[in-house]
Amino acid sequence: MILSPKARFQQTPDARHWKAAVESTWFQEGLTAAVAHLTLGAVPTGNDPAAAAAAFNRLEGAKALISTLMNLAEPPVPERPVPDHNLKPTT
């Protein structure tokens, strides 16, 4: 049983269609317009730190969603091991 929704999605025929969709010009243009619209509407007016923080968090959430959407059909990138030649033991 696959517990990862992404891995489960990648094993379906829909993953191939999704990859083609996110690579298409119409998707890229729509995504660009949506992000521009969101960004322009998220600019807080006045001197309210709470509104500025809320706008920042909305934009960070949008970035995370875009990254997920764009990479949903991509296989995971293998993690590179940390080189140990520059690590000194502590005593």
pTM of the model: 0.71
Q: Please check whether residue 67 lies inside any domain of the structure.
A: yes
The Cβ-side half-sphere exposure at 30, using a 13 Å CA radius, reads 8
Q: Please check whether residue 62 lies inside any domain of the structure.
A: yes
> How many domains does the chain divide into?
1
pLDDT in single tens digits along all 91 residues of the chain: 668 899 999 999 999 999 999 999 999 999 999 999 988 887 777 788 888 888 889 899 999 999 999 999 998 788 888 777 766 766 6
Distance CA 10, CA 23 (A): 16
Q: Please check whether residue 35 lies inside any domain of the structure.
A: yes
Q: Please check whether residue 86 lies inside any domain of the structure.
A: no
Nearest to 68 by CA among 9, 3, 13, 2: 9
Q: Please check whether residue 17 lies inside any domain of the structure.
A: no
Q: Please check whether residue 33 lies inside any domain of the structure.
A: yes
Domain that holds residue 32: 22-71
Is residue 9 helix, strand or coil? helix
Q: Please check whether residue 44 lies inside any domain of the structure.
A: yes
Supply the pLDDT for residue 24: 96
Distance CA 42, CA 40 (A): 6
Q: Please check whether residue 13 lies inside any domain of the structure.
A: no
